[in-house]
Amino acid sequence: MSVTINDNYLLLQDSYLFVDIARRLENFQNENPDKNVIKMGIGDVTKPLSKTVIKAFKDAVDEMSDFNSFRGYGPEQGYSFLVEAIIKNDFKPSGINIDTDEVFISDGAKCDTGNIQEIFGLDNKVCVTDPIYPVYVDTNVMAGRGGSITNNGTYSSIVYMSCTQENNFIPELPKEPVDLIYLCFPNNPTGTTLNKDQLSKFVEFAKENNSIILFDAAYESFIRENDVPHSIYEIDGAKEVAIEFRSFSKTAGFTGTRCAYTIVPKELYGLSSNGEKISVNELWNRRQTTKFNGVSYPVQKAAEATFSIEGKKEIKENIDYYMENAKIIRNSLSNLGLNIYGGVNSPYIWVKTPNNMKSWDFFDLLLNEANIVGTAGSGFGLSGEGYLRLTAFNTLENTKEAMDRMSKIKL
Amino acid sequence: MSVTINDNYLLLQDSYLFVDIARRLENFQNENPDKNVIKMGIGDVTKPLSKTVIKAFKDAVDEMSDFNSFRGYGPEQGYSFLVEAIIKNDFKPSGINIDTDEVFISDGAKCDTGNIQEIFGLDNKVCVTDPIYPVYVDTNVMAGRGGSITNNGTYSSIVYMSCTQENNFIPELPKEPVDLIYLCFPNNPTGTTLNKDQLSKFVEFAKENNSIILFDAAYESFIRENDVPHSIYEIDGAKEVAIEFRSFSKTAGFTGTRCAYTIVPKELYGLSSNGEKISVNELWNRRQTTKFNGVSYPVQKAAEATFSIEGKKEIKENIDYYMENAKIIRNSLSNLGLNIYGGVNSPYIWVKTPNNMKSWDFFDLLLNEANIVGTAGSGFGLSGEGYLRLTAFNTLENTKEAMDRMSKIKL
């Protein structure tokens, strides 16, 4: 006998997008140590935590220094002060009713979108948009829902909804019944959105096919247009078919602080093999209480402060700042004659490469000629080929400088 | 078509030990609102974070408030400052060589001991001690390694090593080949330990049978006796057969702050279905980079401070304090003629119930007559029946008061 490994891991693609980027960047900087490279690749925030958040964070650390206010293990689902602040601020104002036991605080939307598939059967058909944030596919492949790798790098058992300029990056409904549908809007990487009508079609589809939508709303705070839903629960009946993932990462600059949450409505059911209806909310609760021990108390207090009047104001200023960058990128690249998408309700700008260049060729061109790092669209999937993602998470000065450099290269 | 659930979840036992305890406590307090109940049940620390840890924690929060020192996404595996401090302080002094890429920082040993099984095949035979921390069994049952539930509540596919006063709580080696062996020493719940010889036998067994030992060392800082290994890697050759889990929770009072780490040696291999040797370290790295986004930066700085000269001194004082409680519990209960185990190298004292009472009967007796909450041993497994766990994580005053009350009831 011998320990066997989870063979599904061997089906994962070897190279990881951001590792590739880091390698190419390192090579370039070794050969050009004097060049000032502007990084618009990884989707990470740059603005510090806001004043009000910092104060709450430190006050909570102080509580941990005193016997009477010290906190040990907290509820695995998160403290009620944060759960209630979330319901009151993120859902109530849109008329959405969420119960406290439908909110699960976690240390990241990456974890939650990665772990959620555990509570479902291996026979579920998974459906994703293409291009896509790689975690949704990889975690399903690890569990055994991928099937085999095809020649073009896609997985045989996964249904892909292609999003390109031909369909304006609006995925068409799957042509076959599917079970678990991952949607991320505002989208990473394309920066595009679904309006209420477009999202409603997916909710209807899910109802008709008894599917569950896994809705990643990590970028909702960047939405500027009125007709774009911040939550899938703005669509009537969505609580019967959708789980929603939210995060403080991009909203409040928590990428290094770690706090997120997931809504698992009590209306959601899945079938056991003997046909019994089982509450998905109860399954997720069992998963979280068994495998997770809650988010750091001071971090939850910091997250709560994002909902204070001052906190909201400060955070809005940060997001406005990023969105001003996005506007500058949009305008500059449009003026250069490039086809660009996103950046209106999202910190991501999805750039069609000029002259049908391959994604990585355009990446290299920008790195070598303008010393700008983007993200090759092909790294997000087959339909990402021929695109490049730029992010607005830089300083205004760097963003302007980057656009200035791009205007000087021959595209 | 319809979404199916992970049927394995239906095999999990319904009631959860600490939920049961909370319910009985609530009932008691509703009926006896004037009674001052002393809680010696849940294994949670009570002493606040130490001064040096608090300072590092707050300084790191301050760093997050400034553009130049702000940190976004960190390495999923943890920051090198913490990885290096761990190697230097927890392993180097015992002559154990650990490479930086063998250390994985996480937000909890519960998560790591729960998640580790994901990277292994479903056909592995799991072996655990009985009684046991429920997470090891539950996470394997969720994945499908449990088999069916037998009449006595055990799982048909899991191999149990019974630990009772008959074998002095030293598990006997499994009589059949097994693949994944979960060991937790100092043990939760019994508080007992393995000496070097006893642990060596398991390392030998694992080598002979090509098994992997999953060694939970969350309580190592409570070890007082010289012959008790703090790390399984103190045993020659253990790096070829063991993964070790460590935590700042019980060591430094981080139960509500959340930081832990896991050592996955590069010497470890598992077999793919076609017989290829696959690095377990690489599998875990892929798992963590795909499903986890690292521990909060200020929390990692707080954890690093536990290794400073002052930090170590403060933490030692806290542990000494708890261990003084443990000694008081040991002496008092011995004087009452009870058979007690643990509490020498562990904050847990494992009490044999008097007159062969059932665990829950003794629990109720203590709650009703002495207003003390323990943990019913049967909640940790079949061999826990007839025992009760008490913890030393209380104040000295409460501990003395509890012992005084126990001396006054008829046992």
The angle formed by the CA atoms of residues B308, B312 and B314, to the nearest 5 degrees, is: 120
The answer to whether the CB of A211 falls within 8 A of the CB of A179 is yes
**Would you call A7 and B121 a contact, using CB atoms and an 8 Å cutoff?**
yes
Which of A309, A337, A367 terminates a domain? The answer is A309
Q: What rounded mean pLDDT belongs to chain A?
A: 96
In three-state form (DSSP H/G/I as H, E/B as E, the rest C), the secondary structure along chain A is CCCEECHHHHHCCCCCHHHHHHHHHHHHHHHCCCCCCEECCCCCCCCCCCHHHHHHHHHHHHHCCCCCCCCCCCCCCCCHHHHHHHHHHHHHHHCCCCCHHHEEEECCHHHHHHHHHHHECCCCCEEEEECCCHHHHHHHHHHCCCCCECCCCCECCCEEEECCHHHCCCCCCCCCCCCEEEEECCCCCCCCCCCHHHHHHHHHHHHHHCCEEEEECCCHHHCCCCCCCCCHHHCCCHHHCEEEEEECHHHHCCCCCCCEEEECCCCCEEECCCCCEEEHHHHHHHHHHHHCCCCCHHHHHHHHHCCCHHHHHHHHHHHHHHHHHHHHHHHHHHHCCCCEEECCCCCEEEEECHHHCCHHHHHHHHHHHHCEECEEHHHHCHHHCCEEEEECCCCHHHHHHHHHHHHHCCC
CATH code assigned at A250 = 3.40.640.10
Q: Which residues of B touch A107 (CB under 8 A)?
A: 107, 258, 293, 295-296
The answer as to whether A3 is a domain residue is: no
Q: Which residues of A touch B64 (CB under 8 A)?
A: 48-49, 54, 57, 256-257
The answer as to whether A2 is a domain residue is: no
Nearest to B6 among A3, A119, A212 (CB): A119
Which of A277, A292, A309 terminates a domain? The answer is A309
Structure tokens at B20: 């049961």
pLDDT of amino acid A324: 98
Residue B329 sits in the same domain as residue B254? no
- Taking the CB of residue B172, how many other CB atoms lie within 10 A of it? 10
- DSSP tag of B189: T
Q: d(Cα B271, Cα A153) in Å, to the nearest integer?
A: 25
- Decide if pLDDT at A16 tops 80: no
**Would you call B110 and A297 a contact, using CB atoms and an 8 Å cutoff?**
no
The position carrying tokens 């002060």 is A81
* Contacts within 8 Å (CB) and 24+ apart, A221-226: A221/A250, A221/A251, A221/A315, A221/A319, A222/A186, A222/A250, A222/A319, A222/A322, A222/A323, A222/A345, A222/A346, A222/A347, A223/A186, A223/A193, A223/A345, A223/A346, A224/A323, A224/A344, A224/A345, A225/A193, A225/A344, A225/A345
Q: With an 8 Å Cβ cutoff, is A47 touching chain B?
A: yes
Pairing label, strands B269-271, B277-279 = antiparallel
Nearest to B189 by CA among B347, B21, B356: B347
Nearest to A286 among B12, B210, B258 (CB): B12
The answer as to whether B3 is a domain residue is: no
The answer to whether the CB of A264 falls within 8 A of the CB of A279 is no
Reduced to 3 states (helix: H, G, I; strand: E, B; else coil), residue B125 is: coil
The answer as to whether B402 is a domain residue is: yes
Beta-bridge partners for B59: none
Regarding pTM above 0.90, the answer is: yes
Residue B255 sits in the same domain as residue B173? yes
**Would you call B271 and A5 a contact, using CB atoms and an 8 Å cutoff?**
yes
The angle formed by the CA atoms of residues A330, A332 and A335, to the nearest 5 degrees, is: 105
Stated length of chain B: 411
Q: With an 8 Å Cβ cutoff, is B285 touching chain A?
A: no
Pairing label, strands B180-184, B38-39 = unpaired
Residue A301 sits in the same domain as residue A353? no
Pairing label, strands A126-130, A103-106 = unpaired
**Would you call B4 and A273 a contact, using CB atoms and an 8 Å cutoff?**
yes
Nearest to B4 among A111, A124, A258 (CB): A124
Residue B165 sits in the same domain as residue B284? yes
Give percent of chain A with pLDDT exceeding 70.
Answer: 99
Measured in angstroms, the CA of A84 and the nearest CA of chain B are apart by 20
**Would you call A42 and B73 a contact, using CB atoms and an 8 Å cutoff?**
yes
Residue B382 sits in the same domain as residue B292? no
Residue A72 sits in the same domain as residue A125? yes
- Decide if pLDDT at A52 tops 90: yes
Name the band, by pLDDT with cuts 50, 70 and 90, for residue A25.
very high
Residue A192 sits in the same domain as residue A209? yes
**Would you call A292 and B110 a contact, using CB atoms and an 8 Å cutoff?**
yes
End-to-end CA distance of chain B: 60
pLDDT of amino acid B20: 85
- Decide if pLDDT at A265 tops 90: yes
Residue A89 is part of which domain span?
54-309
Using CA atoms, how far residue B341 sits from A324, B350, B352, B391, in Å, is: 66, 5, 8, 12
Stretch (H or E) spanning B53 = helix B51-63
pLDDT of amino acid B293: 96
Structure tokens at A391: 């992010």
Number of domains chain A is built from:
2
Residue A27 sits in the same domain as residue A144? no
**Would you call A256 and B12 a contact, using CB atoms and an 8 Å cutoff?**
no
**Would you call A255 and B72 a contact, using CB atoms and an 8 Å cutoff?**
yes
Q: With an 8 Å Cβ cutoff, is A256 touching chain B?
A: yes
Q: Which residues of A touch B280 (CB under 8 A)?
A: 5
Chunk chain B into consecutive blocks of 10 residues (it has 411) and report each block's average pLDDT, rounded to whole numbers: 92 80 93 95 92 98 98 96 98 98 98 98 98 95 97 96 97 97 98 98 97 98 97 98 98 97 98 96 96 97 98 98 98 97 98 97 97 95 97 97 95 80
Residue B62 sits in the same domain as residue B208? yes
Q: Which residues of B touch A61 (CB under 8 A)?
A: 49, 54, 57-58, 61, 298
Nearest to B136 by CA among A377, A361, A291, A191: A291
Stated length of chain A: 411
Amino acid identity at A225: E
Pairing label, strands A348-352, A387-391 = antiparallel
Which chain A residues in 207-226 lie under 8 Å from chain B, judged by CB atoms?
209-212
**Would you call B70 and A46 a contact, using CB atoms and an 8 Å cutoff?**
yes
Q: Which residues of B touch A42 (CB under 8 A)?
A: 73
CATH code assigned at A401 = 3.90.1150.10
The answer as to whether A113 is a domain residue is: yes
A186 upstream amide cis, omega within 30 of 0: yes
Nearest to B124 by CA among B96, B104, B143, B98: B143
* pLDDT tens digits, B289-315: 999 999 999 999 999 999 999 999 999
pLDDT of amino acid B18: 79
**Would you call A293 and B110 a contact, using CB atoms and an 8 Å cutoff?**
yes
Q: With an 8 Å Cβ cutoff, is A65 touching chain B?
A: yes
Residue B242 sits in the same domain as residue B301? yes
Residue A121 sits in the same domain as residue A211? yes
* pLDDT tens digits, A73-99: 999 999 999 999 999 999 999 999 999
End-to-end CA distance of chain A: 60
Name the band, by pLDDT with cuts 50, 70 and 90, for residue A15.
low
Name the band, by pLDDT with cuts 50, 70 and 90, for residue A155.
very high
The answer as to whether B2 is a domain residue is: no
Q: Which residue in A1, A2, A3 has the most chain B C-beta atoms within 10 A of its own C-beta, making it the best mutation to test that interface?
A: A3
- Taking the CB of residue B327, how many other CB atoms lie within 10 A of it? 16
**Would you call B290 and A114 a contact, using CB atoms and an 8 Å cutoff?**
yes
pLDDT of amino acid B411: 80
pLDDT of amino acid A19: 78
Q: Which residue in A6, A15, A281 has the most chain B C-beta atoms within 10 A of its own C-beta, making it the best mutation to test that interface?
A: A6
Structure tokens at B215: 């060694």
- Decide if pLDDT at A1 tops 70: no
Measured in angstroms, the CA of A393 and the nearest CA of chain B are apart by 11
Nearest to B72 among A142, A256, A297 (CB): A256
Residue B197 sits in the same domain as residue B333? no
Q: Which residues of B touch A5 (CB under 8 A)?
A: 119-121, 270-272, 278, 280, 283
Helices A309-335 and A51-63 pack at an angle, to 10 degrees, of 140
**Would you call A179 and B142 a contact, using CB atoms and an 8 Å cutoff?**
no
Structure tokens at A210: 């008894």
The answer as to whether B1 is a domain residue is: no
Which of A286, A309, A332 terminates a domain? The answer is A309
The answer as to whether A4 is a domain residue is: no
Averaged pLDDT for residues A212-232: 98
Q: With an 8 Å Cβ cutoff, is A9 touching chain B?
A: yes
Structure tokens at A410: 């021959």
**Would you call B296 and A256 a contact, using CB atoms and an 8 Å cutoff?**
yes
Averaged pLDDT for residues A317-332: 98
Q: With an 8 Å Cβ cutoff, is B22 touching chain A?
A: no
